[in-house]
């Protein structure tokens, strides 16, 4: 396990011990740097949201409840949100569930990434590409698409919108054969991202928007860890990371129309300098949900999903999550995580909430 100090990731002594360094002192400097570059990614456990903290820190909640974001209705945002089509969400979830599974150690995962790449290209995103990485002997890819912003003066900060497309079964995490539809976890998030990508494609926005579809999430945030490392290594600034993971199965929170907005309340993240911005963006997203959608929102600490490697590098993270990863939900990481459990009306509203956030912050 790596120790993480500020924005620097430092391999622990035991990690360094594993490497056979060449005996020739002349080469030891550059060789060591090369090894550290390849090996300095932190490790995450396979995410299990049933073990995540359920409550925001009380002092943070008091603070959030004492201030609300003031949102003025913008007719152009309202018009754009009306373009979100539940039918598109449904057909994406249906398509993703039609693969036998989307396990990151199975060949299926590459068929899914090919399909995603083509979907984005068909919308018109010519700059769509595979961000390839290797972990534990598996060659995998994240699917990345860029929508360039039109204005200067935002420090080149992109908004990163992400969701994982892989699946896993709780009975056996290495079962790469059995059917694993993963309708809510996380075809729902992928469908929302694709729909947002479709709706905003013709719009002129100020900021760059980047869509990232990650593999290897269920193995321990593999894809997002490699991508967050790549972004930080390139010195790329991000305005926010917005993660969508499990967004379409309501009923596990106080009402059938309640969703969580995940924020960094300092309980689960490593870096403290990004907490305040995360809370502020959470308040804005909540205000937008109140203004433009018919869903209610609660705050929840970010945890056990693809925002964590970004948080560890100091980026500001928020997320949308339906709260359904609890032990009483038998569908979680199960073959019964099927399209029948998805409430597409609810998923449409969550998609609109995130889209309203993009439109507000990227204008
Ligand atoms: Zn997930």
Q: How far is the CA of 288 from the centre of ligand 1 (A)?
A: 24
Domains in the chain (CATH in brackets) are 1-40 (no CATH), 49-362 (3.40.630.10)
Q: How far is the CA of 305 from the centre of ligand 1 (A)?
A: 7
Among residues 49, 56, 57, 77, which one has the least CA distance to residue 289? 77
Q: How far is the CA of 186 from the centre of ligand 1 (A)?
A: 5
Q: How far is the CA of 333 from the centre of ligand 1 (A)?
A: 9
pLDDT at 315: 98
pLDDT at 149: 93
Whole-prediction pTM value?
0.90
Report, as ranges of residue numbers, the positions in the chain whose pLDDT lies below 70: 1-39, 152-155
Q: How far is the CA of 306 from the centre of ligand 1 (A)?
A: 8
Q: How far is the CA of 338 from the centre of ligand 1 (A)?
A: 14
pLDDT at 150: 85
Which stretches of the chain are assigned E, i.e. beta strand?
3-5, 8-10, 129-135, 138-147, 158-164, 208-214, 238-244, 258-263, 296-301, 317-321
Q: How far is the CA of 25 from the centre of ligand 1 (A)?
A: 46
pLDDT at 268: 97
pLDDT at 318: 98
């Amino acid at each position: 396990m790596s120790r993480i100090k500020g924005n620097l990731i430092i391999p622990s002594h035991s990690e360094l011990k594993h490497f056979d360094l060449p005996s020739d002192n002349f080469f030891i400097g550059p060789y060591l740097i090369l090894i550290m570059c390849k090996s300095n990614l932190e490790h995450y456990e396979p995410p299990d949201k049933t073990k995540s903290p359920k409550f925001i820190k009380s002092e943070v909640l008091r603070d959030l409840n004492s201030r609300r974001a003031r949102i003025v209705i913008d007719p152009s945002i309202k018009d754009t949100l009306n373009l979100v089509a539940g039918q598109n969400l449904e057909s994406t979830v249906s398509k993703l569930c039609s693969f036998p599974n989307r396990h990151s150690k199975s060949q299926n995962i590459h068929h899914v990434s090919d399909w995603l790449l083509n979907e984005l290209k068909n919308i018109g995103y010519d700059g769509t590409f595979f961000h390839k990485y290797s972990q534990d002997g598996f060659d995998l890819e994240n699917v990345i698409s860029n929508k360039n912003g039109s204005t200067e003066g935002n420090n080149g900060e992109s908004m990163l919108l992400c969701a994982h497309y892989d699946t896993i079964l709780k009975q056996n995490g290495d079962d790469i054969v059995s059917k694993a539809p993963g309708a809510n976890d996380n075809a729902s998030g992928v469908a929302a991202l694709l729909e947002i990508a479709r709706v905003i494609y013709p719009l002129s926005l100020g900021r760059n928007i980047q869509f990232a579809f990650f593999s290897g999430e269920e193995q321990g945030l593999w894809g997002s860890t490699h991508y967050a490392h790549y972004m930080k290594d390139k010195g790329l600034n991000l305005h926010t990371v917005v993660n969508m993971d499990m967004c379409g199965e309501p009923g596990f929170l106080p009402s059938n129309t309640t969703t969580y907005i995940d924020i960094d309340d300092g309980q689960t993240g490593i870096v403290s300098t990004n907490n305040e911005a995360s809370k502020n963006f959470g308040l804005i997203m909540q205000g937008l949900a109140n203004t433009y959608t018919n869903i209610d929102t609660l705050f929840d600490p970010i945890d056990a999903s693809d925002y964590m490697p970004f948080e560890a590098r100091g980026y500001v993270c928020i997320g949308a999550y339906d709260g359904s990863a609890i032990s009483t939900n038998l569908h979680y990481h199960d073959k019964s995580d099927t399209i029948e459990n998805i409430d597409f009306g609810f998923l449409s509203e969550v998609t609109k909430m995130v889209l309203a956030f993009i439109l507000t912050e990227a204008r």
